[in-house]
Each structure stands twice: as structure tokens, then as C-alpha cells.
Structure 1
Amino acid sequence: MKETFAELVRYLQNPVLTKDENLSFSYRFQKFSHLLLICVITGLLISPVFVLIEELGWINMEEHAMEDLMKTYSKPIVFFIAVILAPLFEELIFRGPLTLFKSTNSFKISFYLFAIIFGLIHLSNFKITTNVLLLTPILVLPQTLLGGIFGFIRVRFSLGWSMVLHACYNAILMLFTFAAGNSI
């Protein structure tokens, strides 16, 4: 786990278009498992900031798009949207094109740009207010970091792996959400 985390950090500091040559499924599954755990831990470490922001009254999480989704659709439909549809389309849009950028500089720029845009697109989950705009870097930090992690596994393994990682991460979030009895 420590080795995977260190490799991820090095990669995020200097992303390069290099596939991992180890094609062993057990090796890839182990890396995948480590990355999934890193994603979950990242989310858990950032979530107290969101609780504080809501407690201070800066953002009303009742106006989050997931709230509307949960009120409009059944849990199985919400689960399908969050765990199947969103990862499929988001990975095709935000990680799919990464390998088209062959030069070192254009790849690095595109890698960071796609991660940032992936984060920013999730700002649409909030009702846009002055506070939301002011807090944008914090509000999209989890998705931006995840965009980097999903980009890492996409480049190192394949687009399919990033789709599955994204889906598994969303599935864990949804299961926590359903278990807690609220939507976000």
C-alpha cells in the first residue's frame, strides 16, 4: 500500500504517458485495491471540511444535486446512475482522451487540465451562490484528486480499469449514503 501511494504521489507530481508493463491480473488487482482504498481514505479525510462548511452555514447541502436525485428516483435507479452511468460517461470524457496527447508537455498539461475540469464539472451539483463560488477549490478538491487517481490508473493500466475504479468508489459512497439514511 505504501509503495502504491508513493508511486501515485510521484506520478501526480510528474505525470507521463507510460503504461505499466506488468500485465499480471493479481498485480493489477492489488494496485487497483490499493488505489480504491486511497480514494476512500482521501474522501474520508476531506469530508470533515464539508461538515464544517455546512455547520457554519456557508453551504446548504440540502440543495445538492444528489438530494434532488434521491427525492426523484428510487435507490436502485440512483445507484445505477451513480455507479454505472456516471463512471462510464465521465471516464470516456475525462480520461479517454488522455493517451491522445503524445508529447511530454502536452500530456502533462492535458492530464492536469482533465483532472481540474473533472473537479469543476462537479460544481454543478451545488446551487451556485457566492459562497459556492468562493469555496470552489475546496468543494471540488475531492473530485479533482480523484480525477488524478483515475487518470493514473487509466494511463498505467487502461480506460477499463479507471471506469471500474470510479464505479467501485461511487458504489462505496452510495452504500455509505444509503446506510446513513441520507443522500450525501
Structure 2
Amino acid sequence: MRLPLKFSNTNISIASAVFIFYSLYYMKFHAFIAVCFAMIFGLMVYMVFKKNPFLSEFLSSFYKNKFKIIFYGFSLIFGLVHLRNYEISYSNIFWVSIIIAPFFLSALIYGYIRMRYSIKESIIMHSLYNLILFMSTKI
């Protein structure tokens, strides 16, 4: 999740909707239901920001003052989300930090690209990285 690294009502609303979608979808909700709930939730978040400018100003100020925490927090979330790609059990829970380390480091790189350039370049870099990994499994 690199979109909400730059604070705006729209970015936070979209990121909230995406988070709700993935949460519901991974809990085995039907994709259509997950999309519907995500869109409703995203619109509700957007409307709350529009109706309450104080909240938007507060979060904008929080972002400016605590950006490092937000940046590293989203990078950690990015790594944790990718745990879904693995079968984690109590017997191998020790390896979680080793499993998420490459994802966390790549999230730091993508986050830097997001902040320095744009979300488009960050997504392109992520896609190229995934393509290289995918192609390496086909060789």
C-alpha cells in the first residue's frame, strides 16, 4: 500500500476500500460482495473527510509530523500482506521475519519511488519485479 503515503482524502479513501476488499476476499467472501462493501466503505470514508475538515486537517498534520512511522508502518504491512503467499504454521512461525524481510525491503524501495517520483513509477517497478520473478520460475 503505497497510495496513502501521500495524504489526501481520495488516497485514504481508496486505500481504505482496497484494505476492506482484501480483508473480506481473504476471509472467503464472494468477490462481488467484497467489492460492494469496499466501495461503500471507501465512499463513507471519503464523505466523513468531506463533512469533517477538522479530521482531514488533523490527519494531514499527523502525516507531516509522524511520516517516518507511517512510511515504515505501511512497509511492514506490505510485508505482512505477502505472508498470504506462504503456508505459515506454529512450527515455522520463527521464519516469518525471514520470509517478510525481502518484501519489507522492496516496500521501502517502492515507497521511496512513490514519494520521489509517483505512484505510477512505483507500480511499474513492482510489476517489473514480479514479472522477473515469475519468468525465472518458468525457465
Q: TM-score range by the shorter chain?
A: 0.5 to 0.7
Aligned match for 1:171, one of 95, 115, 131: 131
Q: Which residue of 1 aligns with 2:101?
A: 141
The runs of 5 or more residues in structure 2 that have no matched partner are: 8-59
The alpha carbon displacement at 1:133 in A equals 1.7
**Which deviations, in whole Å up to 9, do the C-alpha atoms of 1:125-167 show, x marking residues without a partner?**
1112123321111011010000000000000000000000000
Give the root-mean-square deviation of aligned CA atoms: 1.4
Identity %: 40
The structure, 1 or 2, with the larger RCO (C-alpha pairs under 8 Å, 6+ apart) is 1
Deviations 1:90-131 (A, max 9, x none): xxxx10000115644321111000000100111111112123
Distance of 1:131 and 1:154 partners within structure 2? 37
Q: Which amino acid aligns with 2:84?
A: S
Q: Which has the higher helix share?
A: 2
**Which runs of no fewer than 5 residues in structure 1 stay unpaired?**
1-93, 180-184
Q: 1:111 & 1:105 partners in 2: Cα distance?
A: 12
Q: How do residues 26-175 of structure 1 correspond to structure 2 at under 5 angstroms? A: 94-100=1-7, 103-175=63-135
Question: Contact between 1:126 and 1:132, CA under 8 Å: does it hold in 2?
Answer: no
Size of the aligned set, in residue pairs, is: 86
Shift of 1:174: 0.7
TM-score by length of 1: 0.44
Separation in structure 2 between the aligned mates of residue 145 and residue 128 of structure 1, nearest angstrom: 20
TM-score when normalising by structure 2: 0.58
Find the aligned partners of 2:91 and 2:100 in 1 and give their Cα distance: 13
